[in-house]
Amino acid sequence: MLSVEYVAGFFDADGCVTISKIKRSPQAYPIAFRFDNGSYNVLKLMQYMLELCEIKMHLRRKKVSGNSAPAWRLETNKSSEVTKICLLLQPHLVVKQKEVELTLEFLRYRKVAKDTKMRNAFKDEKFALYKRIKELKHERYI
């Protein structure tokens, strides 16, 4: 059985959380939490371990181009599942600790805005968090 620490280390190395901005819908910010890897078996074990923590993620074959080796993707696009996995992994992260912290803050703003019907009131805060997460990703690859 895989440990939470193993999954956190795997996420630090090969995982990502993405928040997209849809131009035609300025309030929409789709979110995804994913792991990509060539090993189906490792991702299947991770999926099983996360299911024991009541986190549902989907495992599917990733589209590859040309002569690339087969790849697999374990992901969720549901805010509730992204929140659960971020909270589970956050204490064990090293590289992506701040990114997950900002993602959780973003999800809290989005939930409050949705629950209170105050989307416009939180529009600037959500956009600022979205930009900061993008900057963190860019800083890591420079």
Task: Residue 129: give its domain's CATH number.
Answer: 3.10.28.10
Alpha-helical runs (H) found in 35-96: 40-52, 79-89
Which tokens belong to 3? 């440990």
Residues 41, 26: Cα–Cα separation, whole Å: 39
Q: Which domain holds residue 92?
A: 4-140
Q: Please report which confidence band the pLDDT of residue 142 belongs to, taking 50, 70 and 90 as the band edges.
A: very low
Q: What is the pLDDT of residues 74-124, one digit of tens each?
A: 999 999 999 999 999 999 999 999 889 988 988 887 776 665 555 566 667
Residues 134, 119: Cα–Cα separation, whole Å: 21
Distances (CA, A) of 74 to 7, 9, 15, 129: 12, 15, 9, 25
Amino acid letter at 91?
A: P
Please count the structural domains in the chain: 1
DSSP state of 74: E
Q: What is the pLDDT of residues 44-74, one digit of tens each?
A: 999 999 999 999 999 999 887 777 777 999 9
Q: What pLDDT was estimated at residue 113?
A: 64
Q: What is the pLDDT of residues 5-28, one digit of tens each?
A: 999 999 999 899 988 776 666 567
Q: Give the pairing type, strands 71-76 and 31-37.
A: antiparallel
Helix (H) or strand (E) holding 132, with range, is helix 123-140
Report the candidate in 74, 46, 72 with the shortest Cα–Cα distance to residue 61: 72
Q: Please report which confidence band the pLDDT of residue 30 belongs to, taking 50, 70 and 90 as the band edges.
A: confident
Residues 137, 17: Cα–Cα separation, whole Å: 10
Are the C-beta atoms of 90 and 97 separated by less than 8 Å?
yes
